[in-house]
Structure formats: C-alpha cells, structure tokens
Amino acid sequence: MKYIAVCLKGLEEITEKETKGKKILESRIQFSAKPKNFKSAIKVYKLLNQFKFKEKEEILNNFKTLKIKIKNRFKVECNRKGQHNFKSVDIEKLIGIHLQKQNYKLDFKTPETIILIDILDNNCLIGILEKDNLQKRNYRIKLNPETLNPCIAFAALKLINLKKEDILVDPYCRDGIIVIEAALMKKCKIYGLDKNIRNSRINSKIAKVKISLSQEEIDWLDTKFKKNSVKVATYLPSVSKRNNENDIRKLYSEFSHQLGYIVKEYVVLIVKKPEIIKEYLTNFKIITEKIVEIGSDNYYIISLKKKYLNIV
C-alpha cells in the first residue's frame, strides 16, 4: 500500500528520513510502511491514484474509475496549490454530488471516510485520509506571541544528531517547544532558559517531560555551563516591530560570544531573518540551511559546527 505524508515546504528531507519514503512532489513524501504519528508531517493519506490534469472534469472522471471502500458517511476535502480556474470547494462539491448519487451520506461533522483530493499545479493525488493535524501537540496550551511550529522544532533537532551523553541548551526557550520536542525524544539532558519561563513550565508539565528550566538571560550562559560542553538549539528573535536592529545586533553579539565558549560541536538556529546573525557566526561553519514556508512566512533552519573541530 502506498501512502503520502504531507509536510511543510522545506522539510521534505527530514520527512523522507522519518517515514523512510521519497519525495514525489513539493511537500509530498511517498512511503509504504504503516502510517504513524510522524513528528515532521502535517497529515497522512492512503494514495489511491496520481495523475496530471487540465480541467476539473478530468478529476471527477478519474475518481469514477476508482474502487474505493467508503463507509456510509463521508466528507470530501480538497487541498489545492497553484493557479486554476476553479476553487477547492468546486472539487469538493463535484465529488460529493457524485457520491451522494451512489447513496452515500455526506456528513461534515462525523464522517467515517474522508476523501482527500490533493492538487499541486497540474498534479492530482486522490486518497483516503489516515491521520490529520499531526503538527498539533497536546502540550501546547500556553503559547508565546512568537511561538514555533513543532514540526520545525523537531526538524531542527534532527539536524544536530542528539545523543544520550549530550547536553542540549535552548537559551530562548519561550513556551518550550524546542526543549519539549527534544525531551520527547528521550535522548539527553535538556536545559531551557529565558526571561520568562512560565509558559515553558506549564507546557512541559502537560507533556510530562523532564527539563531543567531557568529564568536567566544569555550573558549567564558561560557561568552556568562549562567550556565546550553543550549543543544549542534555539529560535532566535529577529528584527521586527518589537525588536529594532540595534537591539538585535547587541543580542546577537553577546549570543555569538556565549556560543563560542559553551558549545562543544553543533548548533542549530531557527530565525526568520538570517542575514544579521550570519555576520556574528565567525567561529562557526554553516553545514546546512533550510527554508521552511508556512503561509507567507519563511523560517530559516541553520545548522552549524565549530570551525576548529574539523568534523566531517
């Protein structure tokens, strides 16, 4: 059986590894193993057919050729990306009316079968939804204004190869998304620091994970951790209405100084505007840089290693 994992654009490589699958289209990873609650994916569906089309009628005609096991109550969902002369709701109505004529009952609230019509430009994939809203986490109760999508946090952590003997530090832990995702991996000692850790404490209790949280600022890092002793994963503040460029530069300058002292090997940074922080990372070499799209926002995941280590 073939399945499709839908992920954020830019996380395809991470989702490929997690599902042991292969990218077939943007943000679409095909795999054959039993579907799980993948941490880097948004949804998973059973793939029934894949084809190219020009007109919406071709989608209905293709659907009619499929032998689909539909329980009595159904719903149709259409995901659409690209320029088309129709809307998603048009496809939903087209398929829905056809199935109602076959005596199936349309039910938006409690459907037993959810048919997914997945459209990317002139590509159409038809499937049965298996898992949805995988990006949601039950621990995300108290959120900061600049919270982070857990799929991005999970992907970032995968880039620094956490081991049991490691110490992981997030000096801007906010509401705890990165440190909680790391703790759920159950691999190493984890520390979260920030000016306000109230939300992190609440969320980590809900997640039932063990994390050391401290209400401290970054200029205390070199007193809290030994030289060359930790890995760092964090979501950095960027220039915005709340943060002017001068303040961000002061923050980055101190942050890079602290990194140079406490980091043993790897660092992974998540930032919305990467240009300025790159000016301050003179002690580190960029290994990978991924751009992740969420709507109109871009998030940059930058993994680095300390230059003098000469790690291959």
Tokens standing for residue 33:
């193993």
- Rounded Cα distance between 158 and 144, Å, is 23
What pLDDT, on the 0 to 100 scale, is given for residue 72? 83
Share of the chain residues as helix, strand and coil, in percent rounded to the nearest 5 = 30, 35, 40
Give pairs for 95-101: CB < 8 Å, separation 24+. Answer: 95/59, 95/60, 95/63, 98/60, 98/63, 98/64, 99/70, 99/74
Tell the burial category of 139 from Cβ atoms under 10 Å away from its Cβ (0-12, 13-18, 19+).
buried
What pLDDT, on the 0 to 100 scale, is given for residue 242? 86
Percent with pLDDT over 90 in the chain: 92
What pLDDT, on the 0 to 100 scale, is given for residue 308? 67
What pLDDT, on the 0 to 100 scale, is given for residue 71? 86
What pLDDT, on the 0 to 100 scale, is given for residue 312? 44
What pLDDT, on the 0 to 100 scale, is given for residue 217? 86
Contact 277, 250 (CB under 8 A): no
Tokens standing for residue 187:
């691999």
| Neighbouring residues of 294: CB distance < 8 A, sequence distance ≥ 6 | 8, 149
Contact 256, 283 (CB under 8 A): yes
Count other Cβ atoms within 10 Å, centred on residue 212: 13
What pLDDT, on the 0 to 100 scale, is given for residue 311? 45
| Topology of the domain comprising 150-309 | Rossmann fold (3.40.50)
DSSP 117-165: EEEETTEEEEEEEEE--TT--TT--S--TT---HHHHHHHHHTTT--TT
What pLDDT, on the 0 to 100 scale, is given for residue 162? 93
Is the model's pTM score more than 0.85?
yes
- Rounded Cα distance between 13 and 22, Å, is 9
The CATH number for 3-131, chosen from 3.40.50.410, 3.30.2130.30, 3.40.50.11030, 3.10.20.340, is 3.30.2130.30
Q: Is the dihedral of CA 215, 218, 223, 229 positive or negative?
A: positive
What is the phi/psi pair of residue 137, to 5°? Answer: -130, 140
Tokens standing for residue 158:
């995968």
Domain ranges of the chain: 3-131, 150-309
What is the phi/psi pair of residue 210, to 5°? Answer: -100, 115
Q: Which residues of the chain have pLDDT under 50?
A: 309-312
The SS3 assignment for 202 reads: helix
